[in-house]
Structure 1
Amino acid sequence: MMSDESAAQLTREKPTYIDAVNALTDRFPILFYVSDFVKRHIGQPAYPVRAAVLGFTEGKVRKIDFGGKGRESSYNKLHAYLSSTSSDCQYRLYIIEDLDAAFIELLGAYLNVDGTVFGSQIRDTHFSGGWEHGHQPQLPSFQDPRASFTLRYYEARYFDDGSLPDFSASVRTSGNLSRRILLGKGRRNKFSGNVGLLRTRNYDGQIGLIRRNASFWSRVETNGSWNGTILVDPPVQGIIRNSPSGPLVTHVPSYSYQGGYRDFTKWPASLDSVLPNIRGPHRISLFDDISYYWTEVATSAEISLALTNPYNSTLFLRNIIASTWMNTNEYIQAILSELETKLWEIERMISPELSHAEKDSYMDDFTIALNEVNTMRRRLTWFINEMKVNCEALGTSADLPDRSKQSGDFVAIYDRLVSYQNWAERLMNVITTSVNLMEMEKSLADSKSLARLTVLGFFFIPLSFSATIFSMGGEFLVGQSKFWIYFAVSVPLTFLVFALAFGKWRIWWNDLMFRVIKTKRE
């Protein structure tokens, strides 16, 4: 039996991949996410991880699926393949759906995958608020998309559960890599029963944006062969929401927004040969869609390009992510459009014929709309930053005026996001102005009522003051001989109060006009 000292010596001589990651964390702080991910999942039940390899040969791509129904089964099959890889295929692309510690160790040990790629795939926060660990974007001059990159994107899905808006701040997808779902604020429920209800499926708190990552790594050997790895998120199988008893995992049916991303392949030249066997991307699993495009759709020219450079093996990954962003942009545009239609009701809202209850209802509508615009504006700031990081990761720049030589898809998406943010900013200003108009109209109505009370007070105060002085007793009572003295005193006193008030107002007004004229002259 090996002693503890011998075991420690062996560990020092042959450290595991995870040991190497821990040792390099000070040099690469992002590796903290890998170490933390491994520690958090120790002793916890792991979700199945799917694995496959695409073998590229001239004119053909062959897929070997290692399964994913059982974690041990897919792990053992992939381990056996890596242990006995033949030289028949020189170009391999491994696709991994979800992650766990065993697969990180396996891929790292056999392929020596850059650990920062795992860290980038695990991290899904918009910003790092802590002082210890973070992930500052790498300088553009040091980015090499031919070696590795991580793309960030958002998948829009409709969740068939009306209670989800109540959990909008704490909903995540299930899986080893749990992703946050950005939902609305329960808008449909808040608008119910109000004047000017927005009746649209777009303006709905049940549509969520899932924060996604997809990572690529490759290494070209001295003989020209290469190995590549693509890490993708799993599809939505369940959602996790907080409850008093702890995190609760439930299955909620979900559907791609507007059917998912638009297929980017060309219309078939002949329908006779494809109609009986029409297939298409499922738009559920990025793992399956990448495999489908390479094995069923890819042309000989596209396969030949992949043989020359592993970066070209990410062609369909990049196309799918860009198309998914376009689908998400449709949702963003629909939300902003529906919010803008509220402005059509401004004339009605400031009508003096409306009751106070109707005005308050309109105010509630616009307050909620203002909150939604601000939420979208804040999220668009995140989206723009992440799209800029995507462009830099792919070796492009969203800020270059000459984009003829750049990858146009992601730059075009960046431009759309910037235009949506400008739209949200303008819309926010218009809605704020509309709310101020409604408040001003209500204030004018209140001022008119106060003015009436003031006029009545000018009459009431002198009359009541005179009555108090004379106490209205004895000969001053109504019908007595000296009752006329009450009017002889009250009427001049009323005019005197008016004169004093008007004089004070006139002095204030003249002083104000003098200062205004003096300011203009200066």
Structure 2
Amino acid sequence: MNYKKGSYRDFVQSQCQSNPCVTGLAEYLGCGSGTASTIVTLDYPRPAPSPLTITEANLAKLIYATSTIHGRILLVENIRPHLISLLGEILDIDPVFFAGHITTDFKDIEIAPPPPSLALFPSQIAERGYLHIHYQQVLDLGSADLFRSSSYSLKSDSNVPRNIRRLPHLSGRQLALARACCSILVKKINGSWICLILVDPAVKTVIETLRSGDRKAYPSMLLHGGFEDFVQLASFASFTSGTTDRSWDKKSMLNNLIHYFRNPPPGFLASEPSILSLGYYPIRIVLADWILYTHLMSRYFKYYEYTLHDIENRLHDSDIIDLQRWRRRSMQSQHKLILLAEFVDYWLLQEADKQPWNLILKDIKHVMSQLEHYNRSLEHMVPVATSMVQLLDSRRWMLEAANVSRLTFIALVFVPLSWVASLFSMSENYSPGQKYFWVYFATALPVLFLVLLLTAVQWNQVAGKLKETAASASQQVRRKNAEVASV
């Protein structure tokens, strides 16, 4: 198919044949307008740049007005299709960059092409010069009583709906995992640089799609207020003097980046910053979220450590499915960290000060080792839990067999009585109150005792005794025949 000069959407569609991984982006550009995106700029070389919120109408004019600055960080939260087309046309952005941010679902291969994070090799992603940081956020959805019959699959209420997976409740609290992505791209324009950073909005509401097609919303918030601050804390003296203010709204990645970019990251040069220096704060924030994620995995492994004492109260068939999901989720998480480590390692050679990035690589390896440890634990836990489920099913089967035995015994008691009653019902003289009614008991009770006696007999032992008696008699006959022959 040949495409003529047109919109950015036409350009993306023309790339679907050579790069199927951008198919999800082409579909997204054909969606509705969506809610308005939040756009914030930070201009350099100001030592402490002040964030400026702008509208989409003024975006193109602001991008071209770069003659008085060295460069600009352009933060976009909750990007919508129209803004992707606008930025793609102005900055001439590779569609794979937007596709890596928009398409993060791991759909089945027979349904849709894989996203760029799976379709491309880590080395290919690193050398393209833009960074996608995929991570998991731990959400607190409130009381578990509200989710007794809710679906496992939920969505975020944003222009790019992210997958949210509901986890088994812990201590009466309902937790969930939300996928998120932070994408970074550096472009040159009019002798200046522009760093485009795409972030997801704060997950304040999760959406459940019911079977009827209706949507049900639940409030959500970050577990324990989010990640741990990685910047050195202020001293007590500065706190008492009121010269420091470290408090900020940590609910969204946008607020976090605005807070941290007030100070230049390691290796940052206002005239020509590297992609690693601009990605320092996003990487640090994401690694802090990964640490919380590993602690959550540790908590759930403790939850799944079963004992035979409480097997009937805790272990269910759904737990086997949850364990399989955790194992698959762990493998996906390791892949995301591998992509991040490959990107840092590829661009590290261009950094003058390598110490901060060597520490980051060590932190990435630490998180990966934790995930690998839990993944191996899952491999051992799944067959153990499966065996316990089978043991629980065997116990239930034995209880059901005992109940059947009781019912059989009751039938043995009443069948002879009912048979004799039907036999004597042929004459009125044997009905209750008549002179021959006593004959019913005289006949039914011996028959009942005979039936119970026959059921109590161990027929296997009787058959064995009969075989022994027959064998003994046969031996005696052969012995007598031998004696007669000898005479």
TM-score (norm: length of structure 2): 0.72
Match of 1:200 among 162, 171, 174: 171
**SS of the residue aligned with 1:143?**
helix
Give the conservation status (yes or no) of the 8 Å contact 2:153–2:166. Answer: no
Correspondent of 1:266 among 218, 232, 236: 232
Letter of the structure 2 residue corresponding to residue 178 of structure 1? P
Structure 2 counterpart of 1:517: none
Alignment partners' CA distance in 1, 2:230 and 2:267:
14
**1:176 to partner: Cα distance:** 0.8
What is the rounded CA distance, in whole Å, between the counterparts of 1:494 and 1:378 in structure 2?
A: 53
Tell me the SS of whatever aligns to 1:130. coil
Aligned pair 1:149/2:135, yes or no? no
Which of residues 322, 327, 333 in structure 2 aligns to 1:372? 322
Match runs of 1:62-141 below 5 Å:
62-67=49-54, 74-83=55-64, 85-130=65-110, 133-135=113-115, 136-141=118-123
Structure 1 CA distance for aligned equivalents of residues 124 and 248 of structure 2: 35
Q: What is the Cα deviation at residue 233 of structure 1?
A: 0.8
Structure 2 counterpart of 1:194: none
Counterparts of 2:395 and 2:195, CA distance in 1: 65
CA 1:217/1:443 → structure 2, altered by over 3 Å: closer, same or farther? same
Q: Deviations over 1:170-192 (max 9, x none)?
A: 421111111111002xx55xxxx
Deviation at 1:293, TM superposition (A): 0.3
Q: Which amino acid aligns with 2:342?
A: E
Q: Which runs of 5+ in 2 are unaligned?
A: 348-356, 407-442, 444-456, 470-487
* Alpha-carbon spacing, 1:383–1:446, altered in 2? closer, same or farther (3 Å): same
Note the alpha carbon deviations across 1:456-502, whole angstroms, 9 max, x for none. xxxxxxxxxxxxxxxxxxxxx9xxxxxxxxxxxxx9x9975133689
> In structure 2, what residue type is equivalent to 1:160?
G
Cα 1:417/1:12, change in 2 over 3 Å: same
Question: What does residue 430 of structure 2 align with?
Answer: none
Partner of 1:285: 252
Q: Does 1:33 align with 2:24?
A: yes
Amino acid at match of 2:259: Y
Within 2, Cα distance between the matches of 1:321 and 1:265? 14
Within a 5 Å distance, the mapping from 1:1-16 to structure 2 comes to 12=4, 15-16=6-7
Give the drift of 1:332: 1.5
Are 1:314 and 2:314 an aligned pair?
Answer: no
Deviations along 1:241-299, whole A, 9 cap, x unmatched? 2235534263x33221133111111122463257635233422110110111011x446
Deviation at 1:425, TM superposition (A): 2.0
Q: 1:183 aligns with which of 159, 162, 166?
A: 166
| Structure 1, 442-451 or 24-33: larger mean CA deviation | 442-451
* 3-state SS, counterpart of residue 167 of structure 1: coil
C-alpha distance in 2, partners of 1:62/1:55?
6
Q: In 2, Cα distance between the equivalents of 1:419 and 1:390?
A: 19
Tell me if structure 1 keeps the 8 A contact 2:164–2:177. yes
User: How many angstroms apart in 1 are the aligned matches of 2:56 and 2:49?
Assistant: 20
Question: Alignment partner of 2:180: what SS?
Answer: strand
Aligned partners of 1:496, 1:443: CA distance in 2, in Å?
A: 29
When Rg is computed on C-alpha atoms for both structures, the one with the higher figure is: 2
How many residue pairs are counted as aligned between the two chains? 407
Distance in structure 1 (CA, Å) of the matches to 2:396 and 2:204: 51
Structure 1 residues without counterparts, runs of 5 or longer: 1-10, 68-73, 189-198, 350-360, 398-402, 453-476, 478-490, 504-522
Distance in 2, matches of 1:145 and 1:294, equals 25
CA RMSD in angstroms, aligned pairs only: 3.8
Aligned equivalent of 2:155: 172
Quick one: distance in 2 between partners of 1:153 and 1:313? 18
- The question of whether the paired residues in 2 share the 8 Å contact of 1:61 and 1:303 is answered with no
The match for 2:36 among 48, 59, 66 is 48
Deviations 1:314-370 (A, max 9, x none): 110111111111112211111111221x32xx2576xxxxxxxxxxx44x6354543
- The letter of the residue matching 2:208 is R
* Structure 1 residue 420 displacement after superposition: 1.1
Q: CA deviation at 1:93?
A: 1.7
Question: Which of 11, 14, 17 is residue 23 of structure 1 equivalent to?
Answer: 14
> Kindly tell me: are residues 145 and 209 of structure 1, through their superposed partners in 2, closer, same or farther at Cα, counting changes over 3 Å?
farther
Q: 1:445 to 1:30 in 2, by over 3 A?
A: closer
Distance 1:165 1:48, change over 3 A: farther
* Conserved 8 A contact 2:204-2:221: no
The alpha carbon displacement at 1:75 in A equals 0.7
Change (3 A) 1:168 1:318: same
Counterpart-to-counterpart distance in 2, 1:334 and 1:232: 29
Shift in Å at residue 312 of structure 1? 0.9
TM-score by length of 1: 0.68
* 1:218 and 2:186 are equivalent in the alignment: yes
- 1 CA distance for matches of 2:216 and 2:396? 48
The residue number in structure 2 matching 1:480 is none
For the pair 1:159 / 2:146, whether they are aligned, the reply is no
Residues 393 and 274 of structure 1, relative CA distance in 2, 3 Å threshold: farther
Deviation by residue 1:433-460 (Cα, 9 ceiling, x = unmatched) = 33445556677889999999xxxxxxxx
> Of the candidates 291, 296, 303, which is equivalent to residue 326 of structure 1?
291
